[in-house]
Structures are given as C-alpha cells and as structure tokens.
Amino acid sequence: MTISLTNHQLLIDGNDVEALDGRRFQRHSPAHDEPVGEYPDGAVPEVDRAVDAARRAFEHGPWPRMAGAERARLLRSVADLIKRDAEALALVEVLESGKPISQARAELQAVSELWWYAATLAQHAHGDAYNALGEDYLAVSVREPMGVVAMIIPWNFPLLIASQKLPFALAVGCTAVLKPSELTSGTALMLGSLTREAGIPDGVVNVITGTANLGSHLVDHRGVDMVSFTGSTEVGRAVMKGASQTLKKVSLELGGKNPMVVMADADLEAAADAAVFAIYFNQGECCNSASRLLVEESVAPELEARIVELTKAVTVGDPLDEQTLVGAIAHDDQLDKIIRLVGEGTAAGASLATGGKRLPTRRGRFFEPTVFTGVDTHMNIAQAEIFGPVLSVLRFDGLDEAVEITNSTDFGLSAGIWTRDVSTSNQFARRARAGTVWVNCWMDGFPEVCFGGMNQSGMGRELGRHAIEEYTEAKSIVTHAGERTMWIGSEKT
C-alpha cells in the first residue's frame, strides 16, 4: 500500500472550512515515521463556530422534528457509505493509529453494524402512559433529545468509538460536535463527510480538529448540553469538574485494569489463546484489554508456560502487512509509559517471562509482547493501566480469592472467567464489580448489548437500547380533562 499525505478540512455547518487563523498540523505514522495527515489546527473560534452550528440545527432545523423513520433511513445510508469506503477508512486508521490492517478491516464491519443498529432505535424511542390516575387525568412520560452533544474521542479506536456515540445521539434527534484526538483525526472527518453525503442536514454533525485543548473548551461551552467522553480516568475527572460549572450531563467511558480469571476446570488451550488475544489486541492499547490474568494455583504452571509459548509466536511489525498481529505503539509518550511501568514491574520483584523491551527497528515504535509472572496484587503493574502489550499473571486459590483480586483495583470496566461450571461462572458474574462480564470468551461485543464501567471506569452506558436514555431527557406531561376543583372556592350555588 502507498503511504501518502492527505489534507483535510474541518466540517462546520455542512461546509469544509479552515481554522480562522489558517494554522495546520501534521500527523506522522507511528509505524513509518512519515507524514500521513494534515489538519486545521482549530482553537476557541472553531469550537464556537461548531457549537453555534449544532445549536442552530437543533433549535431551528428539521433534524429533531423529523420522523424517526426518516432519521433511520439516513442513518442506514451512512452505514452503507461506510461499507463502500471501508478500505479507505481502514487504511487511514492503520496509518494514524498503528493498528494492523486486518484488525482495522474487521473494525469497519463493526462500525457499519453500529450505524445500522442505531437506526432501529430511531423508530423505537418511546415513553410511557399513565391512565390509572383517576378518570379526569392522563399523564405521559416522553423522552426528548438532550440537545447539542459534545463527543470527545480517543486515539486507540477513533472510528469505532465515534460510532458508539454519534449514531445513537443522532437517532433520537440530537446534534453533535465531534472532537477526535489530534493523533487520529482522519477517519472522524471522513465520517463527517459521509453523514453529509447521506443527506443528514447541515449543522447536525460538526467535526473539529486541533492540537490545543479543544476538549476543555467544549466541556465549558454554555451551548453544549451534554458531554460524552472516552479516554483516561485522569482526564475523565477533569471533564466532570469542567461540566459541573454548567451542570451538563456527562457520560464517561474511562480506563480499565481488566481481569481474566481461569479456573482449574477450564479449557486451558482456549483460555490461553483468548488471554493472548485479549492483551495483545490493538497493541494492548485498549480499555478492555485483559491486562491481568488470574490463574488458579493448580494449573498455573501449565497455563503460564502455554501463554509464554503463544506470546513468542505473536507477529509484531509493519501494520500494513496482512500477517501482522501487533502493530506500532501510537506515540512516544505512550511508549515511554510502557517502558517505565515494565521497569517498575521488574524492580518490584515480578518475573519477566518474555519480552520487556522496545524492538530495535529502523523506524517506528514497537514493543515486544511481554509477560510478567509472580505478580502480586499490590504491585503497580497489577494496579495501573499500562495501555500496552504487557500481561501480568497472578495466582489465586479458589473462587473467593479470585473475586477479591478481581475487585482489588479502582477500575471496573470488564472482567471474564473461564470455567466449565455454570454455578462458578454465575457466582463470579454476580460478584465481579465490572460493567461487562465475559464467560468463556473475551471482548465479544454486539450493538444490542450495553457497554460501560463501574467505579473509576466511568458512568453511563453506550450501545443497546440504554443509549436512548443517555441522549434523551424524560419529560412528564399531565393532562386534566374534567372540571377544575377550585382552590379559593366554587361560584356554583
């Protein structure tokens, strides 16, 4: 595949525009160290322009007033256009994020399915009726769109995460300002163009890019009714603090330190393969990464040996190579963090079973798939979100200890268990403090099934019918049909 520099513009009120001051910035491929995208370097004026456009579209445009069936038709058109341009979108994802091309292509299929499913919700948004309030009263509870939604997207799954938010907000009549990471802005702008091509009215979808802190300006903006943020827990706290000044609704999907529990009765071959996938998928730069592997003591030596063997077989390299399973680390700061935390693990007494070093390549930034054994739950590598291809293996004795270790971090995004015993899996699923629990699988997701975290992994839920609730407000309408009982007194004689 050819690596070339692509120039982009902002999408504001249906128009391709530059930043008012004309500034631009470039994104270099983390795998190839070559420029692959050039973007307007937006600032406060661009935030204002985008929010104003979204506000006009919401207050005066047709989108919130359109029949659900018509919104659904347009969202399905976007899904079809995503399928049409899947290869081009996947290539941009690879060049900007460093993920393998085979993975990016699979993600594009999921992205299209998200838009298609969200379209069904446009026709199924509904409230409740209360007809047992007495013969003179009828009350209905309706759900109305929140208004202007600011969506702040991270760099690890830019198109997928945008599509876990945008079509669901659009389905119920909201308008949006989408702000992708400056590291991976390309597919967000391409997606914006597809919404325009599909016929979604001007101003409903706006996409702004920039290297300044545009996110904080969106969070603070009085024209924004809701903020939907995906990213680190640290930044999530700042989003909550900023939104509190105007009491905006906030939806947060944050970090994770997710445990995969393997019981002694599990299919160890399947569990080992799943564990390797779950930590090295997307270079470990994944909020759902299973970065903690909890293994029952009696089978730990066997499973650890199998994990190390499989890890050594994982192909790391050029993400444009069809055979690559682990691509490039997205940026230098993230690589430095991985190196630092691996060093902390070694210093704390964990055993480095394999990996642990940056790969010596002529260009790009690649890190060896890494396995630590002998990890104690109090070690930082068992508590901190590394966000890289680094697995910590901990041992336990019995389900109670497995649950205790599972719940021993500040996070609660996802967890999983491998066992042939239904009673064991049910007990674990009920006791694990996590928004998603997988049984004999990992990272199997569907548009119909809600997703979100507990504890410091966030608040709110994306996907499924629950997304309707996230992007709407409930309103009660009470109607009195009979004669009024006078407060001061009746004039009747």
* Catalytically annotated residues: 253, 287
- Enumerate residues 6+ apart whose C-beta is below 8 A from 318: 31, 32, 324, 327, 364
* Contact of 260 with 292, CB cutoff 8 Å: yes
Distances in Å between the alpha carbon of 361 and those of 126, 320, 325, 352?
A: 56, 16, 17, 22
Helices 86-97, 101-122: inter-axial angle, 10-degree rounding: 120
CA 97 to chain centre: 15
Residue written as token pair 């491929």: 29
| Triad 311, 315, 316: Cα angle to 5° | 105
Rounded-to-integer distance, Cα 71 and Cα 153, Å: 23
Q: What separation, in Å, do the N-terminal and C-terminal C-alpha atoms of the chain show? A: 91
Query: Cα-flanking dihedrals φ and ψ of residue 175, to 5°?
Result: -110, 165
Instruction: Choose among 441, 439, 443, 419: nearest CA to 429.
Output: 439
Distances in Å between the alpha carbon of 313 and those of 302, 307, 391, 432?
A: 17, 10, 15, 32
Rounded-to-integer distance, Cα 44 and Cα 216, Å: 10
The two structure tokens encoding residue 385: 């979100």
CA 202 to chain centre: 26
Rounded-to-integer distance, Cα 77 and Cα 75, Å: 5
Rounded-to-integer distance, Cα 56 and Cα 13, Å: 9
Rg (the chain; Cα; Å): 25
3-state helix, strand, coil in the chain (%, to 5): 40, 20, 40
* Contact of 363 with 320, CB cutoff 8 Å: no
